[in-house]
Amino acid sequence: MKKEKKQSPPGSEHRMENYPDHGEYTYKGHALFAGKTVLVTGGDSGIGKAISIAFAREGANVVLVYLSEEEQEDAKDTLQWIEQAGVKGLAIQADIKQADNCKKIVATTVEIFGQIDVLINNAAFQKEHKAFVAITEEDLKMTYETNVYALFYMTKYSLDHIPKGGSIIHTTSVNVYDPNPDLLMYASSKAAIQNLTASMSKMFLEQGKGIRVNAVAPGPVWTPLIPTTLSDIDTFGQNTPLKRPAQPSEIAPAYIFLASEAASYISGTIISATGGRITL
């Protein structure tokens, strides 16, 4: 593995020395979502990119949301892979910390594709702190607005456009079970997402909406978020029994499964993909 240079947030996969594997050359689809529409936040790179490519190869039209111009090259590349799969893709640049932006994203998706069959709340922010007193109000606000508020907004505005049999999948983290104290705010926000997953699942099913809500809890995954936010990137992932970080391509199949008919009796569940780290 090449020596990795640290980037400034939000970072770009195109500036990474060790380019992640998103399944570009390996993922093979089986038309599981032909004619469906999938909306993915943070879909330009990392896990979101792998998810976008996988759903496209399963026959779904994919709308990916990304934050900034710095990520535009990554988003364009992801869009090309989506379209190469023979489906329609749409990349939307928007700050999903703002409720109005989330409302516009949903409205645009519905206007073009008619409905949202699968919503994947994947976008996230983290920042490392070696001391509790070093956490600023800005850090707290940024973490929770990106990881929790945006999830709430996207779900709220998408809900009426997701048909029965549709699916919502959140991205949580191994940090819910085994929190890294240097990522205190991130870990606590992911714990909130885990509780929201269970609560939303119960609420939506009891209300007869017929929408399943689940989550995936990745362990260490090699994405642009890592060299932009962590100081120990040279040993990243070595704390797992597999002794390495996952590639995004190794995480995406969990989302495919949870959204598929194969998981029709699964809701309120977290699938852990942690390289062997225990999440009991």
User: Residue 243 and residue 258: Cα distance in Å, rounded?
Assistant: 27
Q: Is residue 278 one of the residues assigned to a domain?
A: no
Say how many domains are in the chain.
1
Residues 185, 196: contact at Cβ < 8 Å? no
Q: Is residue 37 one of the residues assigned to a domain?
A: yes
CATH of the domain at 37: 3.40.50.720
**pTM of the prediction?**
0.95
User: Residue 122 and residue 28: Cα distance in Å, rounded?
Assistant: 22
pLDDT at 3: 66
pLDDT at 1: 56
Residues spanned by the domain of 233? 33-273
Q: Is residue 236 one of the residues assigned to a domain?
A: yes
User: Residue 276 and residue 218: Cα distance in Å, rounded?
Assistant: 11
Active-site choice (149, 153, 157, 186): 186
pLDDT at 123: 97
User: Residue 211 and residue 13: Cα distance in Å, rounded?
Assistant: 33
Tokens 């100081």 locate to 231
Question: Mind spelling out the 3-state secondary structure of 83-139?
Answer: HHCCCCEEEEECCCCCHHHHHHHHHHHHHHHCCCCEEEECCCCCCCCCCHHHCCHHH
User: Residue 60 and residue 6: Cα distance in Å, rounded?
Assistant: 35
Q: Is residue 7 one of the residues assigned to a domain?
A: no
One digit per residue, the tens of pLDDT, for the chain of length 280 reads 566 566 666 667 777 778 899 999 999 999 999 999 999 999 999 999 999 999 999 999 999 999 998 899 999 999 999 999 999 999 999 999 999 999 999 999 999 999 999 999 999 999 999 999 999 999 999 999 999 999 999 999 999 999 999 999 999 999 999 999 999 999 999 999 999 999 999 999 999 999 999 999 999 999 888 888 888 788 899 999 999 999 999 999 999 999 999 999 999 999 999 999 999 8
Q: Is residue 85 one of the residues assigned to a domain?
A: yes
pLDDT at 227: 85
From residue 135, give the alpha-carbon distance in Å to each of 138, 141, 150: 8, 10, 21
From residue 133, give the alpha-carbon distance in Å to each of 21, 130, 144: 37, 9, 18
| SS3 call for 25 | coil
pLDDT at 25: 96
pLDDT at 240: 95
Q: Is residue 20 one of the residues assigned to a domain?
A: no
Tokens 């996207």 locate to 154
Q: Is residue 60 one of the residues assigned to a domain?
A: yes
- The residue type at 5: K
* DSSP annotation string for 129-185: -SSGGG--HHHHHHHHIIIIIHHHHHHHHHGGGSPTT-EEEEE--GGGTS--GGGHH
186 is catalytic: yes
User: Residue 114 and residue 84: Cα distance in Å, rounded?
Assistant: 22
Q: Which segments within the chain are labelled E, that is strand?
A: 37-41, 61-66, 89-93, 118-121, 167-171, 212-218, 270-273
User: Residue 212 and residue 263: Cα distance in Å, rounded?
Assistant: 9
Q: Is residue 138 one of the residues assigned to a domain?
A: yes
